Amino acid sequence: MAAHDTLLSASPEADEVLEQSPDTITLEFSGTGLIAGETIPNTIVLHDANGENWEGETVVEGSTMSTELPEPLPNGEFDVAYRVVYSDGHTEEDSYRFEVADPDVTDEIVSDTSEHMEDRSTDTTEDASSSTFGWVLGIGVATAVCVGLILLVMRRQVSPSGD
């Protein structure tokens, strides 16, 4: 019985710390080549720590699978997840992590995060004022209903024998 095909190499490698963003993610597998899985496609997915996708289209050439990155990666940790259909027909799903630590990139992620936080604080202020108006309106309606019910009950108690 022959052994199953397996991952031979990856670029970037698992747990590698890069000083600049890679242009592509490339995985090389053993065997005579990968087969095109119709129901289970060969894929590479790249996520940052926030869950954002960074990969491009997965390309298969023989026993190599790769994806070009549409833009340079910011500093941080990235997860490469892949699913492959080997030449012997079996499939494998696995993942590994690498890091980008470009010394020339400073505060890019922080400034992006700060902008998002500023956007969120503006949205929160707008939501809070809308929410406050909703509460005031709701309390006003509830008070009016309560007053109406009290008046109705009092009116019936005053003249129950008058009917």
> Quick check: 82 and 94 in contact, CB under 8 A?
yes
**Residue 62 has what pLDDT?**
92
Question: What span, in angstroms and rounded, lies between the C-alpha atoms of 156 and 45?
Answer: 71
What is the pTM for the complete model shown?
A: 0.63
* Cα separation, 64 vs 36, whole angstroms: 12
Predicted local confidence at residue 147, as pLDDT: 67
> So what's the pLDDT on residue 35?
84
The amino acid that residue 161 corresponds to is S
φ and ψ at residue 116, rounded to 5 degrees: -65, -40
All residue ranges of the chain with pLDDT < 70 are 1-2, 37-38, 107-149, 158-163
- Residue 96, H or E segment: strand 91-100
d(CA 68, CA 117): 30
Query: What is the reported pLDDT for 51?
Result: 93
